[in-house]
Every structure is written in C-alpha cells, then in structure tokens.
Amino acid sequence: MYLPFVAGDLNYINWIIDSVLHTANVFCKTLGMDTYVTMHDIRVPQGVGVRMSFACIGFGIMSLWIAFITAHKTNLKTKLVWSLGGVFTIWFINCCRIAILLIALDHRSKVISFIDHHTIFNLVTYSVIAFIMYLYIRSEKESLSFTLRTKLV
C-alpha cells in the first residue's frame, strides 16, 4: 500500500541526506566557497557538484554501532546516549567528507581521480567507531567495578 504522506513527509532517508548536504554547505560557505544545495546535490555555481545517494549515508556503519551498543547489558539511558553519540559522530564525519570532496573537486585535485572517497570514509569512520567502542567498553568496566565495590562495602 502506497501512502503519499509517508513517502513524502516521513521519508527519514531524505532528512538525513538533506541534513548532511546542508551542513556540508555551511562548512563550505564558512571556508569562503559559493555553494548551494539542490535535491540530493551540493554544487558550486557553474562548476562541480557532489550527488549524495542512499549508499552515501553510512547506514552500514550506523547499524554496526547500534548493534554493538544494543548487545551490551546496560540500562536503556546509557544505550540511548551512546547510540545517539555514535550515530551523530558518523553523521558529522559524513558531513566533513562531503565538504572536503566538493572542495577537492572545485580545486581540481589530482588525488580525487584515483581515490575512492567511499573507501576512505569507511576506513576513517570504522577507525573512529573502534576507538569509541574502546571508550564504551572501558566506561562499562569502570561502571561495573564501581558497582561491585559499592555492593561489597
């Protein structure tokens, strides 16, 4: 069953794409570039642009993060805070990636022609997530240690 309201107004995929593109637009404008956002593109007038599709959102990495947090035995508030923090971090890295890609394309960088920005994004993001996982596990161990000490006293 197709519901136009759901397809148009509850389309969270477009919300994420729009938020990434508009934030990258703010980053580029802050650096002095003249840029604008259209449907799923961020462009330089009479110049280059970056089109963002579903594959560019980073759902695989976000899913990994949320599954990792959900799998641990901790309270709902902690899971929610860590889940949202990780998803925000991935989103922010994605905004930076789109802005950097547009800047490099606008300056006709030679590096762009042989580097796959999806692979670089995945490497950077998985590295950051691995570090955040380390911080999460460390904080959970400290919390468990504190709980055990207070119960023993």
Structural domain range at position 34: 4-152
What integer pLDDT is reported at residue 150 of this predicted model? 57
Instruction: Report the predicted TM-score, pTM, of the whole model to 2 decimal places.
Output: 0.83
pLDDT at 113: 61
Q: How many domains does the chain have?
A: 1
Which residues of the chain fall short of a pLDDT of 70?
109-115, 143-153
Which amino acid makes up residue 102?
A: L
The pLDDT assigned to 117 comes to 74
Q: Rounded to an integer, what is the distance from CA 30 to the centroid of its chain?
A: 20
Give the pLDDT of residue 52.
Answer: 92
Residues 63-90: b if buried by 16+ CB within 10 A, e if exposed: ebbbebbeeeeeeeeebeebbeebbebb
